[in-house]
Amino acid sequence: MELPIVLTASAIEMSDFGLNPFISFTGGFPSKIVPQRILKWHLYPATKDNGDSTAAFAPYGMRKIEALLAREFGESNVVTCTPSNLPKFVGPETKAIGISTMDPLGIGFVSRTYTSLVGFGREPISAAEFRELMNNPIMRKYGSKIIVGGSGSWQIIRGNMQDAYGIDTVVIGEGDRAAAEIFRKAVQGEPLPKIVQTEKPKMEEIPLITKPSLFGVVEITRGCGKGCQFCSPTMRTRYSFPLERIKKEAELNARAGSRMIVLQTDDIFLYKCKERFIPNKKAIVELIETIDRIPGVEYIQPAHAALSPVVYDQKIIEEIAPMLVEKGRWPYNGKKVASIEVGIETGSVRLMEKHMKGKALPLEVKDWPEIVTQAIGIFNDNGIYPLATLVTGLPDETTEDTLATMELVDDLKGTKIFYVPLFFTSEEDCLLRASRQMDLRHLTELQWDFFATCWQHNIAIWHPQYRPLYAAGAMFGFMFYYMWKHGAKVLQPMMKLVGFPKS
Ligand code: SF4
């Protein structure tokens, strides 16, 4: 059945990774190590369809656009499907194909870091899958206009790939206000602008989803406002969505069979926060209790949390942790635990003051290392084992700054935390967009050591039983490979990673 508007995303972005949102990070790892066909089967199987080839679940942002377009053009004129089902819906009547993407060229924080570090894949999996989608002959077979949006669309402009991929319009920014007009032009055959930089929507312009989202995502806040210079959410207007609205979207997902609800936010403590980012305990507890009561919800996963509010009012964690642990997705040593992504970024107070002063609010940035250690302690005491990002190569980072981060990692030794160390990346939609990005060539011996220390911690805490395997593999394979590729400066870090000398 051909339809005028067809929405899709690359195969990897149409998967829920077996209901494991943290594994979706692997989209930033190199392709070609394992054949894509096998990865599609085992790592990121496509979302199932509804029996009529429409997608049962889809990325949350795409569901928002779908809701807007269905309101504008009628539900029967808009469909969302996986790439493999495109031939079922794209035909001579199709005027526009809308594509949502988070990492089309693999140049986001995770992709740049891990594709270059591992080094022997040609491109990140996310980029390989996006290329496969764009090279699908159905895209251009009937002259449909191709419109690409989503949080990674800036990469297409930065990478100068718009013409190579035959994309008519790249939408940069939130699509809630602009989407209807762009698709109207496409449907009526009017010329389309090559790039649309969207205006910020008002909260009432942001529609509720009407069909279920992957991972059961529901948005609880949008934007941030703490002003970290490397971060794009801070550029968006901050909203906390009304509880009734959040509940409706969560219920819709649960009714559709999503066992998980991901609470999408850049910091759960922003939810209805007070002046100076003082967390609103009552509102946060009520939010978690409301989701906890929805029938069919087995897992509740808040996306991100800031660290300072945990220390500012630890009672919030004490009240919500039992519900989050009970509905945690991951076991640790045979018992359920909860997890959440947090941003440590650096142990250097100087860099914090320079690039992300607001991150420590409502506490003082001068106390950042103590805030981090206290917050992780409070999380762990309550059964929450966070996944933490750290960024190396921030503009103007000195040896002393890297050492300060190493000291902080040392202070956190033994804590239940999973580190994701990253290269600084200047994404388009942030205040540091013109700054030089960190890359492998400029990594100092100390920064190599920093990466090795983080991963040594991860292996020791999360997979101690595999350590001998990592050691053997690294000794006979990776170590020589890395030394050949990057020189003697990697020797000590690699020895550390495999446990010599023993930490
Ligand atoms: S606190 Fe987090 S979400 Fe807010 S601006 Fe900083 S990095 Fe971005």
Residue 389's CATH number: 3.80.30.20
Residues 295 and 419 in one domain: yes
Residues 466 and 426 in one domain: no
Q: CA 179, 171, 99, 28: dihedral to nearest 10 degrees?
A: -140
For residue 231, the CA-to-ligand 1 centroid distance in Å is 6
Indicate whether 252 belongs to any domain.
Answer: yes
Cβ of 233 below 6 Å from ligand 1: yes
Indicate whether 61 belongs to any domain.
Answer: yes
Cβ of 224 below 6 Å from ligand 1: yes
Which is nearest to 388 in space by CA: 331, 462, 287? 462
Q: What is the pLDDT of residue 492?
A: 66
Cβ of 356 below 6 Å from ligand 1: yes
Indicate whether 442 belongs to any domain.
Answer: yes
Residues 161 and 240 in one domain: no
Indicate whether 330 belongs to any domain.
Answer: yes
Q: Of 201, 231, 249, which residue constitutes the final position of a domain?
A: 201
Structure token digits, residue 444: 């100092």
- For residue 272, CA distances in Å to 73, 92, 108, 243 come to 34, 48, 29, 10
Q: CA–CA separation, 440 vs 486, rounded Å? A: 8
* Among protein residues, the one whose CA lies closest to atom 2 of ligand 1: 266
Indicate whether 413 belongs to any domain.
Answer: yes
Residues 365 and 265 in one domain: yes
Q: What is the pLDDT along the chain (503 residues), one digit of tens a residue?
A: 778 999 999 999 999 998 888 777 776 666 666 777 788 888 898 899 999 999 999 999 999 999 999 999 999 999 999 999 999 999 999 999 999 999 999 888 887 787 777 655 568 889 999 999 999 999 999 999 999 999 999 999 999 999 999 999 999 999 999 999 999 999 999 999 999 999 999 999 999 999 999 999 999 999 999 989 888 877 788 999 999 999 999 999 999 999 999 999 999 999 999 999 999 999 999 999 999 999 999 999 999 999 999 999 999 999 999 999 999 998 898 899 999 999 999 999 999 999 999 999 999 999 999 999 999 999 999 999 999 999 999 999 999 999 999 999 999 999 999 999 999 988 777 777 778 888 877 889 999 999 999 999 998 888 766 555 555 555 555 555 555 556 656 666 666 665 654 44
Cβ of 307 below 6 Å from ligand 1: no
* Among protein residues, the one whose CA lies closest to atom 6 of ligand 1: 228
Indicate whether 326 belongs to any domain.
Answer: yes
Cβ of 266 below 6 Å from ligand 1: yes
Residues 324 and 269 in one domain: yes
For residue 304, the CA-to-ligand 1 centroid distance in Å is 10
Cβ of 152 below 6 Å from ligand 1: no
Structure token digits, residue 409: 């990692």
Q: Of 389, 406, 431, which residue constitutes the final position of a domain?
A: 431
Q: What is the pLDDT of residue 465?
A: 62
Cβ of 343 below 6 Å from ligand 1: yes
- Please report the atom of ligand 1 found closest to the CA of residue 356: 6
The packing angle between helices 314-326 and 368-381, to 10°, is 40
Q: Of 431, 464, 489, which residue constitutes the final position of a domain?
A: 431
On the 0-12 / 13-18 / 19+ scale of CB atoms within 10 A, 388 is buried
Residue listed under structure tokens 């959410």: 233
For residue 23, the CA-to-ligand 1 centroid distance in Å is 22
Single pTM value for the model: 0.91
Q: What is the pLDDT of residue 188?
A: 96
Indicate whether 463 belongs to any domain.
Answer: yes
Indicate whether 207 belongs to any domain.
Answer: no
Q: Determine the 3-state secondary structure of 202 from DSSP.
A: coil
Residues 371 and 501 in one domain: no
For residue 239, the CA-to-ligand 1 centroid distance in Å is 14
Cβ of 231 below 6 Å from ligand 1: yes
For residue 142, the CA-to-ligand 1 centroid distance in Å is 43
Residues 334 and 193 in one domain: no
Cβ of 359 below 6 Å from ligand 1: yes
Strand order in the sheet with 169-172: 78-80, 5-9, 96-100, 145-149, 169-172, 195-197
Cβ of 306 below 6 Å from ligand 1: yes
Cβ of 228 below 6 Å from ligand 1: yes
Q: What is the pLDDT of residue 202?
A: 93
Q: What is the pLDDT of residue 31?
A: 67
Structure token digits, residue 430: 């942030």
**Torsions phi, psi of 460, nearest 5?**
-65, -40
Cβ of 234 below 6 Å from ligand 1: yes
Q: CA–CA separation, 333 vs 462, rounded Å? A: 9
Q: Which of 230, 232, 359, 368 to mutate to test the pocket of ligand 1 (most atoms within 8 A of CB)?
A: 359
339 Rama sector, left if φ>0, alpha if ψ -120 to 50, beta otherwise: beta
Q: What is the pLDDT of residue 503?
A: 41
Write out the residue range of the structural domain in which residue 458 sits: 432-503
* Among protein residues, the one whose CA lies closest to atom 8 of ligand 1: 231
Domains identified in the chain, total number:
3
Residues 181 and 328 in one domain: no
- Please report the atom of ligand 1 found closest to the CA of residue 226: 5
Residues 481 and 499 in one domain: yes
Cβ of 427 below 6 Å from ligand 1: no
**Residue 148, strand partner residues:** 99, 170
- For residue 234, CA distances in Å to 48, 275, 325, 349, 429 come to 34, 16, 29, 20, 9
Residues 53 and 159 in one domain: yes
Residues 250 and 382 in one domain: yes
Residues 189 and 85 in one domain: yes
For residue 364, the CA-to-ligand 1 centroid distance in Å is 15
CB atoms within 10 A of CB 233: 21
